[in-house]
Amino acid sequence: MWHRKNAVVWLMRVTIAVSILLNAIVGGRNNQTLSARMWERKMQDKIHIVPFIDWLFKWEQQQHCYASWIKWTVINSAINHYEDISDYVTKGTKL
CA distance 10 to 23: 20
CA distance 23 to 32: 7
pLDDT at 5: 80
- State which amino acid sits at residue 15: T
CA distance 33 to 52: 15
Gyration radius (Cα) of the chain, Å: 16
Note the pLDDT tens digit of each residue in 44-80: 999 999 999 999 998 878 999 999 999 999 998 888 7
CB of 41 closer than 8 Å to CB of 69:
no
- In this prediction the pTM is 0.77
The 8-class DSSP code of residue 63 comes to S
For residue 95, pLDDT over 90 is answered with no
pLDDT at 20: 96
Neighbours of 41 (CB within 10 A): 15
